Amino acid sequence: MIATETRTTCPYCGVGCGLLARVADDGAVSVAGDPQHPSNFGRLCSKGAALAETLDPSTRLLHPEVDGERVSWDTALDTVASGIRAALHQHGPDSVAFYVSGQLLTEDYYVANKLMKGFIGSANIDTNSRLCMASAVAGHKRAFGSDTVPGCYEDLERAKLVVLVGSNAAWCHPVLYQRMAQAKQDHPELRVVLIDPRRTASSDIADLHLAVRPGTDGVLFNGLLVYLHDHDEVHAQFVANHTEGADEALAAARASSPDVASVAGQCGLSATQVAEFFELFARTERVVTLFSQGVNQTSSGTDKVNAIINCHLLTGRIGRPGMGPFSLTGQPNAMGGREVGGLANQLAAHFELDYPADRAEVREFWKAPAIAALPGLKAVDLFRAVEQGKIKVLWIMATNPAVSLPDAQQVRRALEKCELVIVSDCVRHTDTTKYAHVLLPAAAWGEKEGTVTNSERRISRQRAFLKPPGEAQPDWWMVAEVAKRLGHGAAFDYPNAAAIFREHAALSAVANDGTRDFDLSGLAEVSDEDYARLAPVQWPVTRARPKGTARLFGDGNFFTPSGRARFLPIIPRAPANPTDSAYPLVLNTGRVRDHWHTLTRTGLAARLSAHTIEPYIEIHPQDAARYGVVDGALARASSKWGQSSARVRVSDSQRPGSVFAPMHWNDQFTSAGCIDAVVNPATDPLSGEPEFKHTPVRIEPLQPKWYGFLLSCRKLIPGAATYWAAARGQGLWRYELAGDELPKDWAMTARTVLCAQDEKVEWIEYFDKAARRYRAARLTKGKLESCIFIGPNPELPPRDWLASLFALETLDAPTRAGLLAGIPPKGCRDSGRQVCACFGVGETAILEAIQSGCATAADIGARLKAGTNCGSCLPELKALLAQHDVRKIA
Ligand SMILES: Nc1nc2c(c(=O)[nH]1)N[C@H]1C(S)=C(S)[C@@H](COP(=O)(O)OP(=O)(O)OC[C@H]3O[C@@H](n4cnc5c(=O)[nH]c(N)nc54)[C@H](O)[C@@H]3O)O[C@H]1N2
Ligand SMILES: Nc1nc2c(c(=O)[nH]1)N[C@H]1C(S)=C(S)[C@@H](COP(=O)(O)OP(=O)(O)OC[C@H]3O[C@@H](n4cnc5c(=O)[nH]c(N)nc54)[C@H](O)[C@@H]3O)O[C@H]1N2
Ligand code: SF4
Ligand SMILES: [Mo]
């Protein structure tokens, strides 16, 4: 029986789906899509649908700690406040820094920014949105005079052409992707172009895929600008009345990208493909260009954003239904962070740090004793300053920089050196909490109240439906408590999140008669009750527009001093660090479908872990042959900055010369899977955003003496292995292993890992010394507790079959014999890589279904249910059909 049902918002990506969180009488939580939420209309992706499985209390940070000892909140907060006070006294405001996150709620974020920029008196607060949205922010501000996303999701459905640039929306914004896929089904004339060096799952709906040479998007969009001009697609009236700088932009574009042939050559494409894209763009008025990290995360990301916007300005395709440049936000509250001014070069509520009048307004409103006057340090520079000893106190909230910043070894050195590191997190053990002097337990999703803003500027409520475990508290409360201890009680005396939201909305209204885009004046007096009920709404929300605003710039007025949008002359630049003979390949990094960032949440759910069980390096067959790496074996990626090891995937989805690795793995889940140890710390000079998509690397095979895997009911430390990767399975942990040394005594080594030297356990084993095969299992009263399989190569028995034995109450003699022989009973086969997370359907069953006549994803769905719930796996089903359906191949 359902006891409560709470409307809330998904804590993952920037699509911002509405959810119904249900708590049953027995406390069991389940999650469904909210049919009334205008972002998803009831849809969810695999991650959202599995949220209930990630609410595992066992990994939580439950109590405040100082130097590894549990302390009271008072002691912890006093330690933080006295550390800040001492640093302020001895070294001044810039010796203190906050590193925060687009996963904070707006209310948390607002309070942290206020304390730093108004009361500590430094702008040294930066956020992981620097790694994500900073180039889009800088590009928007240059073009529009404001950080505005002009359009809304509905535009994707009303467009006739959607251009996806550097976005793998099928995996990273799945519900939005599904809305596009549906729109394409409903209106077959809708065209989709994908611009990405890799062939990703998003290519499923693409009519044209331009596998550009990495980093050449600036050349491509400059070429488009020239083409539009030369083919009379200029909206002369719009350009004349509402823009400035078109001639300079065109001249610059012509210099880099004079014609289709030149563009094709520079971008590594055929002239036909380029011409097809240009022609399609030119003739389609309703076009949305959707861009994400393939654009932003480069050392010329800001320029690329403006190269895209230039094309929309020249054609006047902005601010009207079905058209516009559209930056997708990554995190659930990346947009909210930009509203409160969470970046080191912003002030608050879209007031500018650089303008004295803006500083005066904010100082007056906050009654701030020490408003920051100069921009603070951007993330990469911030961690350099920490290593140089310039920053004495660093407070990290809701982000895991030891894993997610480039040159992760440098970040770890910096954290090691810093005098006082404070970490607020929900999870006890992360690669970052290792370095904390003070740990503050944060209330997690479902336990706290606040708002988030999605990619289309839509503010939605996150509501609490669970009690925080232990002593966990909302982030805003911690910051306010520290502020009080620093003597700023009056300014931080908030009774609840609603009060913070009201203040944030009121600040946005100060001196704002249409001069700033971000305006929540219509919500500045929202009551606690109305805040509790607040329906999703797109800003600006003013008294004149109480229901919010779907689109901006429809009137041709922009927020620049002249009121005109600016064209920017773009001179495309090559990536900061080119490849050379020592590091000949380009490392591109990004996301997989079912994992979220550093695995602190999705790593807890078996069905999300099964899709990609370990870190991998994907490489083109030609490069694999050239560098001697083999599909399914292990390899090391090395750069000038560091190394990482992972499983090899050979695939022609990669461009020759490029390799791809996911960003998610870290020391909690692998021996050496943290790819940011390899990634270069180059940044965009304007936005400070790191170049995560382009690091020169070398790939070499690892040549371990043995391969193996281990399944266990308990979490273990696979000490004997030089390579290991852990993944949650259904009721067990799964480890992939490899080792450089052949143990002298296999049984001893295996027992040490599996039994922690406990002599009394039931133990069965098999050893073939000549074949270098070892297998053993530990049982408790006849029930399987753990098992280990070792062999000379990666070919090992099916894990799923072995995993299924853990459900048996006792293992009978034939099963034990089969286990040690490594041979599953007849008819039992490995289910293969999991494709459908909702129904746990693996590749083997899908291939069988295809062989036995299923010809469409719908056929597979009817037979296996795969793809019939959240739909996140549909692109993969269709890819398997394309590869294996004999009729199609013939
Ligand atoms: N499953 C999942 N979804 C997520 C997240 C997650 O962790 N997991 N995180 C969220 C967050 S915070 C973010 S920021 C978003 C990111 O969402 P996306 O930006 O869509 O994801 P990425 O995988 O980082 O990168 C996008 C694509 O850029 C391509 N790319 C690389 N180099 C170039 C280039 O030179 N030109 C072009 N045109 N493309 C290039 C990559 O091959 C990749 O496919 O995802 C959000 N959604
Ligand atoms: N190589 C490579 N690296 C990348 C990227 C890439 O594409 N390639 N992408 C970059 C991008 S776009 C992003 S956004 C970053 C993301 O990188 P991170 O922000 O470092 O990743 P998360 O794992 O989301 O970290 C969030 C942390 O906050 C904790 N947490 C969750 N909810 C709360 C809360 O309410 N309060 C508090 N206090 N803590 C909470 C979680 O347990 C977790 O430890 O990674 C960046 N790094
Ligand atoms: S698309 Fe998926 S991850 Fe993103 S908000 Fe919706 S349910 Fe959450
Ligand atoms: Mo992000």
559-587 per-position pLDDT tens digit: 999 999 999 999 999 999 999 999 999 99
Kindly tell me if the per-residue pLDDT of 887 is higher than 60: no
Q: By mean pLDDT, which of 328-337, 494-503, 774-783 is the weakest?
A: 774-783
For residue 501, what pLDDT band results from cuts at 50, 70 and 90?
very high
Alpha carbons within 13 angstroms on the beta-carbon side of residue 335 total 24
How many of the other CB atoms lie within 10 Å of CB of 782?
A: 12
Q: How far apart are CA 223 and CA 279, in angstroms?
A: 12
Partners of 516 in the beta sheet?
A: none
48 in ligand 3 pocket by Cβ < 6 Å?
yes
Q: How far apart are CA 565 and CA 686, in angstroms?
A: 19
How many of the other CB atoms lie within 10 Å of CB of 373?
A: 13
- Going from the Cα of 278 to the center of ligand 1, the distance in angstroms, rounded, reads 24
874 in ligand 2 pocket by Cβ < 6 Å?
no
| Mutation to probe ligand 2, out of 399, 432, 689 (largest number of atoms < 8 A from CB) | 399
131 in ligand 3 pocket by Cβ < 6 Å?
no
Structure tokens at 401: 């920089």
| Mutation to probe ligand 2, out of 126, 128, 684 (largest number of atoms < 8 A from CB) | 128
Nearest CA to ligand 3 atom 6: 17
Alpha carbons within 13 angstroms on the beta-carbon side of residue 263 total 26
Q: How far apart are CA 199 and CA 215, in angstroms?
A: 16
Q: Which phi and psi angles does 752 have, rounded to 5°? A: -65, -40
Q: How far apart are CA 128 and CA 133, in angstroms?
A: 9
Q: Which phi and psi angles does 642 have, rounded to 5°? A: 170, -170
* pLDDT for the residue numbered 756: 59
**Does the N-terminal peptide bond of residue 406 adopt cis geometry, omega within 30 degrees of 0?**
no
Tens digit of each residue's pLDDT (9 = 90 or more) over 390-426? 999 999 999 999 999 999 999 999 999 999 999 999 9
* pLDDT for the residue numbered 156: 97
Kindly tell me if the per-residue pLDDT of 509 is higher than 80: yes
DSSP 261-323: HHHHHHHT--HHHHHHHHHHHHH-SSEEEEE-HHHHSSTTHHHHHHHHHHHHHHTT-SSSTT-
Partners of 162 in the beta sheet?
A: 192, 288
- Going from the Cα of 591 to the center of ligand 4, the distance in angstroms, rounded, reads 10
Alpha carbons within 13 angstroms on the beta-carbon side of residue 527 total 2
Nearest CA to ligand 2 atom 33: 398
Nearest CA to ligand 1 atom 38: 166
DSSP 779-831: EETTEEEEEEEEESSS----HHHHHHHTTSSS--HHHHHHHHHT-PPTT----
298 in ligand 2 pocket by Cβ < 6 Å?
no
* pLDDT for the residue numbered 204: 94
Work out the burial of residue 554: count CB atoms within 10 Å of its CB; fewer than 13 is exposed, 13-18 middle, 19 or more buried: middle
445 in ligand 3 pocket by Cβ < 6 Å?
no
Q: How far apart are CA 291 and CA 294, in angstroms?
A: 8
| Mutation to probe ligand 2, out of 58, 62, 103 (largest number of atoms < 8 A from CB) | 103
Q: By mean pLDDT, which of 520-534, 535-549, 733-747, 845-859 is the weakest?
A: 733-747
Higher confidence at residue 717 or residue 284? 284
E strand or H helix at 191: strand 191-195
Alpha carbons within 13 angstroms on the beta-carbon side of residue 84 total 26
Q: Which phi and psi angles does 3 have, rounded to 5°? A: -90, -45
For residue 146, what pLDDT band results from cuts at 50, 70 and 90?
very high
Q: By mean pLDDT, which of 127-131, 171-175, 627-631, 817-821 is the weakest?
A: 817-821
Structure tokens at 828: 């039992």
Q: Which phi and psi angles does 192 have, rounded to 5°? A: -125, 130
Angle (CA) 483-489-491 rounded to 5° is 90
- Going from the Cα of 674 to the center of ligand 4, the distance in angstroms, rounded, reads 17
Structure tokens at 381: 């520079």
Structure tokens at 208: 């044209």
Q: What whole-number percentage of the chain has pLDDT above 70?
A: 99
Give Cα 189 distance to the centre of its chain.
Answer: 32
Nearest CA to ligand 1 atom 32: 294
Over residues 653-669, the mean pLDDT reads 97
* pLDDT for the residue numbered 594: 96
Structure tokens at 283: 């003739």
Handedness of CA 644, 645, 651, 657 (dihedral sign): positive
Kindly tell me if the per-residue pLDDT of 760 is higher than 90: no
* Ligand 2 atom at shortest distance from the alpha carbon of 591: 7
Kindly tell me if the per-residue pLDDT of 180 is higher than 60: yes
Alpha carbons within 13 angstroms on the beta-carbon side of residue 374 total 4
Nearest CA to ligand 2 atom 7: 590
* pLDDT for the residue numbered 888: 54
Domains in the chain and their CATH numbers?
A: 3-54 (3.30.200.210), 59-132+333-538 (3.40.50.740), 134-327 (3.40.228.10), 585-701 (2.40.40.20), 706-821 (no CATH), 834-883 (1.10.10.1100)
* pLDDT for the residue numbered 119: 98
- Going from the Cα of 165 to the center of ligand 1, the distance in angstroms, rounded, reads 10
Kindly tell me if the per-residue pLDDT of 763 is higher than 70: yes
| Mutation to probe ligand 3, out of 9, 20, 37, 173 (largest number of atoms < 8 A from CB) | 173
Handedness of CA 302, 305, 311, 312 (dihedral sign): negative
Kindly tell me if the per-residue pLDDT of 755 is higher than 70: no
328 in ligand 3 pocket by Cβ < 6 Å?
no
From the CA of 60, the nearest ligand is: 2
For residue 758, what pLDDT band results from cuts at 50, 70 and 90?
low
Kindly tell me if the per-residue pLDDT of 683 is higher than 60: yes
* pLDDT for the residue numbered 757: 59
* Ligand 1 atom at shortest distance from the alpha carbon of 166: 39
Kindly tell me if the per-residue pLDDT of 3 is higher than 80: yes
Structure tokens at 202: 């998003």
Q: Which of 406, 410, 470 is nearest to 440 (CA)?
A: 470
Nearest CA to ligand 3 atom 7: 48
148 in ligand 1 pocket by Cβ < 6 Å?
no
DSSP, collapsed to helix, strand or coil, labels residue 229 as helix
- Going from the Cα of 12 to the center of ligand 1, the distance in angstroms, rounded, reads 14
Partners of 775 in the beta sheet?
A: 766, 789
Tens digit of each residue's pLDDT (9 = 90 or more) over 818-875? 999 988 887 777 788 889 988 989 999 999 999 999 999 999 999 999 999 988 999 9
| Mean model confidence pLDDT for the chain | 95
Q: By mean pLDDT, which of 214-228, 339-353, 795-809 is the weakest?
A: 795-809
